[in-house]
Amino acid sequence: MFAKFEQEPIAAASLGQVHQARSASGERLAVKILYPNVVTIINVDLRVLGWALRVYRNFVPLQQIERVHEHLADMLARETDLVNEARCIARMAKNFEGDSDVLFPVVFPELSSSTVMTMTFMDGVKITNKDALAGLALDPYDVATKLIKVFYKQLFVDRFFHADPHPGNFFVQRGADGQVRIVVLDLGSATELRDNLADGMFDILSGLMTRKDDLVVRGIDTMGFMAAGGDRALLERTVRRYFEKLLSIHITDFGKIDPAVAQQLADPHMKREDLRELMKSVAYPEGWFYVERAAVIMFGLSSTLAPRLNGIHVGFPYVTQFIMERNTRRLAEQTARKAAEAAKQAAAEPAPKVAEEPEALLN
């Protein structure tokens, strides 16, 4: 199968490890192998987590909190199926085929299975290794900017994103013209973005950019954060109040936010019963777990590389493209809906009677 296979792994993680190998033709390969019984171990851990969440809900009455457990179980099931990961790699590589500076390994299906995946070996330096980046004469701010652009494209343009973007899943290369090239790895958790989450996030980002709290409130509602039967007025008041505070805060270093700055967002005057009622009014939207996790990891990684980089501003061109695509889609839907209504109305109206022709006069 392999002309050469290194017994010592070159990388190891919680679910498996990667070995270097050579094909019969001498091509350098990476072979990812899941640990034996890893699925059984995960299922035991998930049962314990499910019990802990049920206890947690007695103290924190957040609606649909059990979705965290469901989504985590789903993500781990997909991450432990390497056939699924191979499909995700192929799909995302196609999404970026127009950008030669975003690279993905090529999987060899004939040398792969659900527990073993053989792919091309991808060179590069770890994205957080600033000394190695300096050795390539690459600015960490340029690396962070490229990475954030990749993430925004995945999220708003392709609607298919890397849900586990930790530092070990990205390598960096220097291109022929000195540009940053990002190598994307470990795509077993790649996830489709639900339309309501995309629309809601767009409204929130638009609200932040234009300083309009009504857009932020609408975005939160569209995403599904407002629980059925909750105190909608209380939630809206809270969102508007925190939005006003957020706009008054000036953050220059996203990698080291002063505790005093964060304290400005606190509301020491909120009563405990109001807080509990507020939490009952907040739901945990379907699919939000993947987006939340990815965004927190991604922007944490970005702030490590470039503390003063504003990720929202970097993503503005992709948000603009999303606006155009969404408006085009909504216009098409509106046109189709009006045409259907007109056709339905026409079908319901009685056909006009045809006037009878007078009999021919007898000669």
- Helix or strand (DSSP H, E) at 291: helix 288-305
- Give yes or no for a contact between 196 and 224, defined as CB atoms under 8 angstroms apart: yes
Beta strands in 89-230 (DSSP E): 102-103, 116-120, 125-126, 160-161, 170-174, 180-184, 191-192
Cα dihedral value 83, 294, 120, 14, nearest 10: -70
For 12, 290, 328, the CA distances from 227, given in Å and listed in that order, are: 41, 20, 30
- Give yes or no for a contact between 263 and 213, defined as CB atoms under 8 angstroms apart: no
11 bridge partner residues: 18
Please identify every residue annotated as catalytic. 164
Cβ neighbourhood burial of 334 (10 Å; 0-12, 13-18, 19+): exposed
